[in-house]
Amino acid sequence: MTKPTKPGKIDMEGLFEAIAQRLLVSITQGRILWETKNIRDSGAPFETEFRAFLRARLPSPFAVTSGYLFDPKSNCTPQIDAMILDERESHELMRSDDGAAYVPFPSGRTLIEIKNSARGIASHLVQVRAIASAVDGMKARGQALQATPGGVYMERALSVLVIGDTKNAKLADFKKAYAALGVDPAYTLLLDKGLIIARRTDDPNGIITFPDDADKTGSPILNFYVYKSGYGEWALWRPRSTTNRSGRALLWLYFAIVAQLNLATRGNMGAIRDFTSQVVRDFPMVLQSELRTATHW
């Protein structure tokens, strides 16, 4: 059989839309468990499916699991729904019967909380920030013990909140929750709506000013490193295209994670950097509105 001589194409938008729809089906499965009053297990299908999505696509040396990070003083983080680990430093010392791993905190590169619904958004943010704060404390205590200034630089772990079903979510609840002080989560994915909540890069206090990236039309677009500034207004970002919005937002988040892993483990010098930089331009998340002044999803 003669092989085709013309190059083919991979439909990345369609691929991630199919994944997004599979994730949304897992939320429906969880809702069935919820209705039986099995509250404890109702989030498991979505969490399991999301971890599988990442695990199948992230390269070595990264692993994906749920569990806890700990320090030499035996301090543990709250449980993390999905943590991306650098296996070269994971040194898993224990695993519980339900599969939760216990690994040293420096191995945690991305920390993800996965929620079926937006119900209780304020408590979702409290959980995300408690995990990030615990890791920050572990890192600070370790640095205080260094005999001399300097030492190995450790990039701060990326914090992500993934919410599957936001059908009944109220903007007012989100505005109030995100108005509370805190830089985490770096990104909040509203999967069914195909939206991401993240900061703008402009600092309203004038301390640091990073003008928003812009596409060829001049519209502000979200870049993969906005979370590093810790400033700017929380904003709603949407795909430029009106089709396959869930898939496009999931695609953007996946490559944001890939970009952060390259930054954290290779000093942003991996060859994938040019690829992820192109993704930002070819599949942009454009500014919909600042969250504080938003009137609709």
Q: Look at residue 282 and tell me whether its pLDDT is greater than 80.
A: yes
Backbone dihedral region for residue 270 (phi beyond 0: left; psi -120 to 50: alpha; all else: beta):
beta
How many Å is the maximal CA-CA distance in the chain?
Answer: 68
CA-wise closest residue to 212 among 67, 283, 180, 203: 203
Q: Rounded distance, CA 172 to CA 160, Å?
A: 21
Q: Rounded distance, CA 68 to CA 105, Å?
A: 8
For 125, 212, 252, 263, 282, the CA distances from 161, given in Å and listed in that order, are 8, 22, 14, 20, 24
pLDDT band for 158, please (50, 70, 90 cuts). Answer: very high
Residue indicated by tokens 């079903």: 165
CA-wise closest residue to 188 among 161, 225, 164: 161
Q: What per-residue confidence (pLDDT) applies to 207?
A: 44
pLDDT band for 6, please (50, 70, 90 cuts). Answer: confident
pLDDT band for 34, please (50, 70, 90 cuts). Answer: low
Average pLDDT in the 149-162 region?
85
pLDDT band for 142, please (50, 70, 90 cuts). Answer: confident
Q: Look at residue 157 and tell me whether its pLDDT is greater than 90.
A: yes
pLDDT of 169-180, one tens digit each? 999 999 999 998
pLDDT of 188-213, one tens digit each? 999 999 999 999 876 555 444 445 67
CA-wise closest residue to 160 among 38, 259, 61: 259
Q: Rounded distance, CA 82 to CA 51, Å?
A: 6
pLDDT over 70, % of the chain: 89
The pair of structure tokens assigned to 258 is 């890939």
Q: What per-residue confidence (pLDDT) applies to 209?
A: 44
pLDDT band for 35, please (50, 70, 90 cuts). Answer: low
For the chain, the average pLDDT equals 89
- CA-based R_g, the chain, Å: 19
Q: What per-residue confidence (pLDDT) applies to 187?
A: 97
First vs last C-alpha separation in the chain: 52
With H, G, I as helix, E, B as strand and everything else as coil, classify residue 50. helix
**Contact criterion met (CB below 8 Å) for 202 and 226:** no
- Whether the upstream peptide bond of residue 106 has omega within 30° of 0, thus cis, is no
CA-wise closest residue to 289 among 200, 182, 223: 200
pLDDT of 208-265, one tens digit each? 444 567 766 777 899 998 888 777 899 999 999 889 999 999 999 999 999 999 999 9
pLDDT of 118-133, one tens digit each? 999 999 999 999 999 9
DSSP class of residue 268 equals T
Backbone dihedral region for residue 91 (phi beyond 0: left; psi -120 to 50: alpha; all else: beta):
left
For 155, 168, 173, 185, the CA distances from 43, given in Å and listed in that order, are 30, 18, 21, 20
Average pLDDT in the 48-69 region?
96
